[in-house]
Amino acid sequence: RQGDPVELGRLVAFLVSTDNSYLTGQTIVIDGGLITAP
For 25, the domain range is: 1-38
pLDDT at position 31 is 79
> Which of 6, 24, 3 lies closest to 15 in space, CA to CA?
24
- Band of the pLDDT at 37, cuts 50, 70, 90? low
Q: Count how many domains the chain has.
A: 1
pLDDT in tens, 15-32: 999 998 888 888 888 877
What percent of the chain shows pLDDT beyond 90? 29
Nearest to 11 by CA among 24, 20, 2, 21: 20
What is the C-alpha to C-alpha distance for residues 37 and 7, in angstroms, rounded to an integer?
A: 20
Q: What pLDDT does 33 receive?
A: 72
